[in-house]
Amino acid sequence: MNIVRSAVLVIIVGGLVALSGCSPSSEAASPVSPSPAPSAEAPASEEPVATPSAAPLDPGDMSTWVAGSAGIGAIERGASWGAVEAQLAGMAVETMCSGAVYFTADASATVYVGLEQDGDTIRQVWAAGDATDAKSPATAAGISLGATLADLQAAYPGIVESVIPYPSDTTAYAVADADGSWLVFSLRDDVVTQIGATASQFPPKELCG
């Protein structure tokens, strides 16, 4: 995991680097605690967002995973984490805390899964990394980790920035689905470092806590 990914992890779970009492390792941090209230500058875009494919997970090639507001690959919000984990044969899934887990593979993004209080229902999914992670999930519009702000704006005309109260060098953009779910992009220095499927238009400040 390189310097950019470590920086990425600064926002998800205390900024994806300082996990509040449950930091997994120096390479991985975490994406969720209360999200800030929407500001007047919250995204106005309500474009339809493609949902993930129902095809079986291929942990060895995350580039085949489609990211949408409903989830990333077959890791869908509202699904049972236990059922999804059973598809991750050979993957080393690490527990960050009772409400979050993460996993990755060589040359792939790190995927963070936030769980509901029951410890099984998937609440949100985040892929974190950068352009060096060749096997990155991508949206139906072709946006993957490492894409530039210009790429994002071209793929989603009219998308606007979400105002977030943490790291000044980090920005967020979000696209709403018809049911109010969000496909969120977190950028550092105008490069996409996180893609998330969540109920909020903001990246989480942390997943544990």
Measured CA distances, 13 to 38, 45, 65, 134 (Å) = 20, 26, 23, 24
pLDDT at position 59 is 66
Q: What would the pLDDT profile of 77-111 be if each residue is shown by its tens digit?
A: 999 999 999 888 778 899 999 999 999 877 788 99
- Burial code (b: 16+ CB inside 10 Å, e: under 16) for 125-150 equals bbbbbbbebbbbbbbbbebbbbbebe
pTM of the entire structure? Answer: 0.75
- Give 64 or 167, the one with higher predicted confidence: 64
Tell me the HSE value of 112 on the side-chain side, using a 13 A CA sphere.
38
Residue 117: band (very low, low, confident or very high) from pLDDT cuts 50, 70, 90: very high
